[in-house]
Amino acid sequence: MTKKKIPALITGFDGFAGAYLAEYLIRHNRKITGTVYNKLKVPPIFKSILSKKTLKSVTILPMNLVHYKSVKDVISKAKPREVYHLAGISHVPQSWANPRLAFSTNVMGTVHVLEAVREVMKAARVLVVSSAEVYGIPDPKNLPTQENAPLKPNNPYAATKAALDLLAYQWSQYPDMFIIRARPFSHTGPGQISNFVCSFFAREVAAISLGLCPPVIKVGDISVKRDFSDVRDIVGGYRLALEKGKNGEVYNVCSGKSQLIKSILHTLISFSDKKIMVAIDPDKFRASEIPETRGSHTKLTEDTGWEPRIPFSETLKNLYDFWLKRLKKQCKK
């Protein structure tokens, strides 16, 4: 007998991780409703990373986090037993440019999601996606960062995530509500927009390989280290955290290893047969840069059995191949 599918809602389906989460959850017997920002379509790039079956099977609803009625209408239509709250502003430079929008979207938007769940589907299990950025600049002596580390956000985006993280804990104390918090560290993979460092490097190298631009990549500070995971591993962590985690708990989702940004760049360059130069561009340096991030996923592993599985070199090759294929297609148009 076929098991009845579990209705699951992904807010921010039109985001990078949201697409992969939908694909993953469909394979695990979920019926997916995904929200997009005020439009009934997904980004064209999704056709490159999602199967046709996934795109056809997801019920897509527009939602504006800033407006409570919009959020409640979605919860009422979807009637989810699981809610994966990924939607919001996720780009640090955007939060510096418009901190009011970042706070109204990420913080009040989360209040709206939790309030709507409490009013409409109180028994639903909710995963609220926070961020490792909430830890700020960690003391090197305290690496890898564990979940009990103090929250010291050092940019507006991180501050919004710290606020919604605490909100989610407070709401988990309401009777009959079940809320898990996830703090993902950096993640990447095919389909990530080129605003993010790995995808930017991969796109530049692919463009140079195809002869579309001069063989020079301009970079900011590549001496920093980041804990990177494959997005396909990260979304698996989200599901297991919600399915097997404990109400009110918070879980790091990370690789447990730090990658030197310079090494990431040179790995990507190694995939090309072109001689590529690297030039430092002071305009690309980011305010309040963090020297190194490295998290501990011990708690998540102990409570759920999750572990990262995809080698990061494979992730980078997949990312490079994605951009190579996409840019070739664009050239033919």
pLDDT of 61-97, one tens digit each?
A: 999 999 999 999 999 999 999 999 999 998 888 888 9
What CA–CA distance (Å, rounded) separates 264 from 61? 37
User: How high is the mean pLDDT of the chain?
Assistant: 94
Please report whether residue 305 resides in a domain.
no
Q: What is the largest CA-CA distance in the chain?
A: 61
pLDDT score for 47 = 75
Same domain, 212 and 270: yes
Please report whether residue 297 resides in a domain.
no
Q: Which helix (H) or strand (E) holds 268?
A: helix 261-269
What CA–CA distance (Å, rounded) separates 35 from 194? 22
Please report whether residue 72 resides in a domain.
yes
Please report whether residue 75 resides in a domain.
yes
pLDDT score for 229 = 98
* Percent of the chain residues past pLDDT 70, beyond the cut: 98
Same domain, 247 and 320: no
Sign of CA dihedral 64, 65, 70, 73: positive
Same domain, 264 and 237: no
Same domain, 107 and 204: no
Same domain, 94 and 165: yes
Same domain, 91 and 120: yes
Same domain, 158 and 212: no
Please report whether residue 1 resides in a domain.
no
- Is the pLDDT at 45 greater than 90? The verdict is no
Three-state secondary structure call for residue 63: coil
Task: Answer whether 255's CB lies under 8 Å from 315's CB.
Answer: no
- Is the pLDDT at 1 greater than 60? The verdict is no
CATH for 205: 3.90.25.10
- Is the pLDDT at 19 greater than 70? The verdict is yes
Task: Answer whether 62's CB lies under 8 Å from 86's CB.
Answer: no
Same domain, 60 and 182: yes
Of 45, 10, 37, the C-alpha closest to 189 is 45
* Percent of the chain residues past pLDDT 90, beyond the cut: 84
Over residues 221-239, mean pLDDT: 97
Please report whether residue 302 resides in a domain.
no
pLDDT score for 168 = 98
Same domain, 55 and 183: yes
Same domain, 110 and 145: yes
Over residues 244-265, mean pLDDT: 98
Q: Give the pTM.
A: 0.95
pLDDT score for 289 = 76
Q: Which of 28-37, 52-61, 116-125, 155-164 has the lowest mean pLDDT?
A: 52-61
What CA–CA distance (Å, rounded) separates 60 from 184? 25
pLDDT score for 55 = 82
Cα-to-chain-centroid distance, residue 195: 13
CATH for 102: 3.40.50.720
- Residue 115 binned pLDDT confidence (cut-offs 50, 70, 90): very high
Same domain, 283 and 241: no
Please report whether residue 15 resides in a domain.
yes
SS3 content of the chain, % helix, strand, coil (to 5): 45, 15, 40
Three-state secondary structure call for residue 13: coil
Total domain count for the chain? 2
Q: Which domain holds residue 121?
A: 6-188+228-253
- Residue 287 binned pLDDT confidence (cut-offs 50, 70, 90): low
Please report whether residue 296 resides in a domain.
no
